[in-house]
Amino acid sequence: MNNKNFKLFLAVVLLALIGCETPNQNHDTSTPHQGYTRLNQDNPKDKVFLVALENGLKNLGSLISVYVDTEELNLYREGKRPYPTNYRYIIKANPKISLEEIKRANLSLQD
């Protein structure tokens, strides 16, 4: 490959890379376990639960998403249970916290 062709090839590759889009790093693309539903911030009942979790986890990091057992979530939304107890969350942890602090926070959320 001569120098002119190489430069042309390199220019085409560079232009192709410029046109590529990187995924949004703040968007949660993880899928929950089957049987779980993601809380909806537009739902007033879900928002109450999200705020309670955020308050319990605020020293640990930023809450990204919360998934609740679908049956429990439906009962909670219908007012048939005070709060869901079977849930999973994804958090962007503060690097200064320890695993022990995370365990204590999780235990306090279950009370």
The verdict on residue 19 lying in a domain is: no
Residue scoring higher pLDDT (7 or 13)? 7
The verdict on residue 93 lying in a domain is: yes
Q: Where are the alpha helices (DSSP H) in the chain?
A: 3-18, 44-57, 70-77, 99-110
pTM above 0.85, yes or no: no
Q: Which domain holds residue 50?
A: 32-110
Task: Name the token pair of 46.
Answer: 């879900």
Domain count, the chain: 1
Per-residue pLDDT band for 15 (boundaries 50, 70, 90) equals low
pLDDT score recorded for residue 23: 46
Per-residue pLDDT band for 96 (boundaries 50, 70, 90) equals confident
**pLDDT tens sequence across 27-80:** 445 556 789 999 999 999 999 999 988 888 888 888 888 999 999 999 999 999
Number of residues assigned to the chain: 111
